Copies of this chain bind each other. A is one copy, B any other.
Amino acid sequence: MPFNLLLNNVSRYIHLTDAEKEIFISLLQEKQLKRKQFFLNDGEICKYSAFVTSGCLRGFTVDKNGIEHVLSFAPPDWWMADMYSLISKKPGTLNIEALEDTDIILLSKTNQEKLYLEIPKFERFFRILIENSLVANQQRIVDNLSLTAEERYNIFCKRYPTLINHLPQKQIASYIGVTPEFFSRMRNKH
């Protein structure tokens, strides 16, 4: 059944009884996205966290010159949301788009709060999830401050080997923080 990947993801950090699994699943919704379909547009309030079961999402902002900047990718087994908008309940700046046909499981903010009340263990689960995310983001800040584009690219390759293959170069370039032109030059030089 389609919730297995998610239940497995959860069970890495907390143990759920069958009854608790039932409750959890009852608070979820499934959704399919077509390639290039948006899950969230900037200016909207983000009301759901998305867990990817197949395909891939990307989260990006658009700056005042119309240039896109990729904040994160979400391949299967990853969560994605506009964290700022989700917790503040204010319009956010993130766009979330499917890079290919993608299946996701949705947990609404409302249901997430229900979940915290009904199964407090989930406070722990999401705390740990967010801790890991924070560590990764802090490392990325340090990398952006201290490394060249080439070094950041090498790190990206090591950290997301599965993504490298089926991700357009320009998306990686944007994540790394360089233009597609420079990225192309960088890879083909030597």
Contacts and interface: CB of A to CB of B under 8 A. Distances in A.
B130 A69 contact: no
B146 A71 contact: no
B83 A142 contact: no
Contacts of A146: 61, 63, 67, 69
Interface string A114-152: 001000100110110011111101111110111100000
A177 interface: yes
A134 B140 CA distance: 12
Contacts of A131: 83, 87, 130
A61 B141 CA distance: 11
A114 B46 CA distance: 34
The 9 closest A-B CB pairs, nearest first, are A127-B127, A63-B146, A123-B123, A69-B145, A137-B137, A84-B135, A134-B134, A130-B130, A145-B177
